[in-house]
Amino acid sequence: MAFLSAYDPRRYDPIAVTVDVVALTIRVVESVPTLHVLLVRRGRRPFVGRWALPGGFVRPEAGPDGARRDEDLPEAAVRELAEETGLAASTDRRAVDRRLARVYLEQLGTYGTPGRDPRMRVISVAYLAFAPDLPDPIAGGDAETAAWVPVAGVDRDHMAFDHARILDDALERAASKLEYTPLATAFVATEFTITELREVYEAVWGQALHAPNFHRKVLSAPGFVEDTGATTARGGARGGRRARLYRAGTARLLHPALLRPGQEEAR
Amino acid sequence: MAFLSAYDPRRYDPIAVTVDVVALTIRVVESVPTLHVLLVRRGRRPFVGRWALPGGFVRPEAGPDGARRDEDLPEAAVRELAEETGLAASTDRRAVDRRLARVYLEQLGTYGTPGRDPRMRVISVAYLAFAPDLPDPIAGGDAETAAWVPVAGVDRDHMAFDHARILDDALERAASKLEYTPLATAFVATEFTITELREVYEAVWGQALHAPNFHRKVLSAPGFVEDTGATTARGGARGGRRARLYRAGTARLLHPALLRPGQEEAR
DNA sequence: AGAATAGTGTCTATTAGACAATATCCT
DNA sequence: AGGATATTGTCTAATAGACACTATTCT
């Protein structure tokens, strides 16, 4: 940090720091499990009426003792997610924590190209979140609407700021994460079937997978899933065997990995 | 960005934004190719005398017309690298570009935990750089020293700020990048031998590799390397065949990947 | 019964890793 | 000549992908 002392940011126009969240979940649409992203429709300028990622400024906060207590970045991301989903009133920390406890959060990247916000210099730290099926969001107090939107139906050409690019980066990261980590389990309930897990992969990768081979690969990766001993209460609605129930294992990485098919000729 | 309009950062203490760079290169120490990182010894408080990553504030800059012209983040990273390495005077853009043209740069992550800088709230965007053998750095104008330091010899317990953690994250990212991308070529000259490439892998992964199999794997990954048709002028100093020379191919990803050995029992 | 879903067997092509052997080039 | 380095051959185990088949449960 060569100039940490020589440079005083207070003498310049400040750089604003925001946190944006790409929250992904799987919802069933017409019997098809489909990848959705949480978006808000902006109620203010700029980009009024456009879809945007939920997010907002990182700000100093007053702690219980009234002293300044800055937010950590992941903390700010969870707060934005909680506020926009309406999962809890922002004052009710306990409820927020309970409902969002199972949400997986990781940093995606930071976007700071000058001009990405027409008003001022803004640096956005983007986070990627994987969530099990959450309720429909309740519109925040800022007169926007919020909704889970199927990613295939997102009109990227009309998104606010550079959020279309952030979304694309997030989708690629998510697809890649499923290859090397057991994070697909973050999209399903605590107990799940191998078929449900496969539907997560199919929704995120956007392609059908060979069910028998998928089954075997999941079971052969140590620590991916643990057998609960139980099965589903019923078979499929139109018949079919009951499925065994699993819970997430303890592995952080998959060995061997579950690679996307048809990635041969990578440019 | 829910509160983009409701919140005016000018009313609060500003958040400072810095860029830090983890620049890695391979240098031969006692005949052993060894991974080095560029570090600066701090000449100012806080952390006087401690090793730190090169970096500095992202700042508004006056363009040729005198108007404000903000730096993009990667641009700031290259500037810091150029200033600290003494590869070019900071004002001479052309010279910077020429010497650093072959440096690969990617964003590593953003570190913003409150308290990581004792003076004020600082958000640091860290970049990872892979460089071919660069000259010894020339101490910057800020009375620090700068040097390429073997990563194995870095005293992590006495680094400034949270730079030890950033360095660890960078090393893990670098090791992982070599598995899935052809970026090892960023560490060597434009023409190189398979052995030199293997030495990059061995230095970054910290373990010896099986030379014959490595050779075949590199050649079997489409687009990793291109044969130049030429060979080295001489064999090894103590005898040995001349090696064929290759240049970097056009692939962005390696298929199949070159995986680190002995990663089986990942926690 | 018949359809639907879950799960297992098996075969082939590809890849990973080990070891052996060959090809060149230095002193 | 003899050691050193680069490159190719060959064999075995593991993995990926395809297809066939069995097991179970629904209407």
In Å, what is the separation between the CA of A78 and the C1' of D20? 49
Locate B167 and state its tokens: 């360095």
| Closest residue, CA to C1' of D19 | A212
Q: What is the pLDDT of residues A15-51, one digit of tens each?
A: 899 999 999 999 999 999 999 999 999 888 889 999 9
B95 C-beta less than 7 Å away from strand D: no
User: Which pLDDT value is given to residue A3?
Assistant: 44
B4 CB within 8 Å of a chain A CB: yes
User: Which pLDDT value is given to residue B14?
Assistant: 75
Query: What mean pLDDT value characterizes chain A?
Result: 86
User: Which pLDDT value is given to residue B90?
Assistant: 41
Q: What is the pLDDT of residues A92-146, one digit of tens each?
A: 555 555 667 789 999 999 999 998 999 888 999 999 999 998 888 876 655 578 8
Burial B63-92, CB ≥16 within 10 A → b, else e: eeeeeeebbebbbbbbbbbbbbbbbbeeee
Of the pLDDT bands very low, low, confident and very high (cuts 50, 70, 90), residue B84 is confident
Of B2, B60, B251, the CB nearest to A80: B2
User: Which pLDDT value is given to residue A149?
Assistant: 96
pLDDT at residue A75 greater than cutoff 70: yes
Mean of the pLDDT values across residues A209-236? 96
> What's at A143, amino acid-wise?
A
User: Which pLDDT value is given to residue B182?
Assistant: 96
CA distances from B247 to A38, A167, B35, B209 (A): 45, 35, 21, 21
Q: How far is B56 from chain A (nearest CA, A)?
A: 4
Asked whether the beta carbons of A87 and A68 are under 8 A apart, the reply is no
Q: How far is B205 from chain A (nearest CA, A)?
A: 18
CB contact under 8 A, A7 and B58: no
B73: nearest CA partner in chain A? A112
pLDDT at residue B266 greater than cutoff 50: no
Alpha-carbon span B262 to B239, nearest angstrom: 33
Closest CA to B134 of B183, B177, B81: B81
Of A60, A68, A266, the CB nearest to B251: A266
Q: Which of residues 164-203 of A touch B (CB under 8 A)?
A: none
In terms of Cβ atoms closer than 10 Å to its own Cβ (0-12, 13-18, 19+), residue B250 is exposed
User: Which pLDDT value is given to residue A7?
Assistant: 58
A211 C-beta less than 7 Å away from strand D: no
CB contact under 8 A, B73 and A113: yes
Region B183-265: CATH code: 1.10.10.10
Determine which helix (DSSP H) or strand (DSSP E) holds A32, and give its type and residue range. strand A32-41
Asked whether the beta carbons of B221 and B258 are under 8 A apart, the reply is yes
Query: What mean pLDDT value characterizes chain B?
Result: 86
B10 C-beta less than 7 Å away from strand D: no
User: Which pLDDT value is given to residue A4?
Assistant: 46
Domains B8-161 and B183-265 share a fold: no
Strand A16-29 relative to strand A122-130, pairing: parallel
B229-234, long-range: CB < 8 A, 24+ apart:
B230/B191, B232/B193
Q: Partners of A18 in the beta sheet? A: A57, A124
User: Which pLDDT value is given to residue B79?
Assistant: 84
Asked whether the beta carbons of A61 and B10 are under 8 A apart, the reply is no
pTM of the full predicted structure?
A: 0.91
Alpha-carbon span B263 to B260, nearest angstrom: 7
Asked whether the beta carbons of A56 and A154 are under 8 A apart, the reply is no
Residues with Cβ within 8 Å of residue B174, at least 6 apart in sequence? B24, B128, B130, B204
User: Which pLDDT value is given to residue B2?
Assistant: 43
Closest CA to A24 of A145, A131, A170, A135: A131
Alpha-carbon span A36 to A152, nearest angstrom: 8
Domain boundaries along the sequence of chain A: 8-161, 183-265
Q: What is the pLDDT of residues B86-103, one digit of tens each?
A: 665 444 555 555 667 789
CB contact under 8 A, B144 and A2: yes
Alpha-carbon span B195 to B240, nearest angstrom: 13
In 3-state terms chain A splits into helix, strand, coil percentages (rounded to 5) of 30, 25, 45
Locate A6 and state its tokens: 């020589």
CB contact under 8 A, B15 and A17: yes
Asked whether the beta carbons of A85 and A146 are under 8 A apart, the reply is yes
pLDDT above 90 covers what percent of chain A? 63
Could you please state the CATH topology (level 3) that the domain comprising B8-161 is classified under. Answer: Nucleoside Triphosphate Pyrophosphohydrolase (3.90.79)
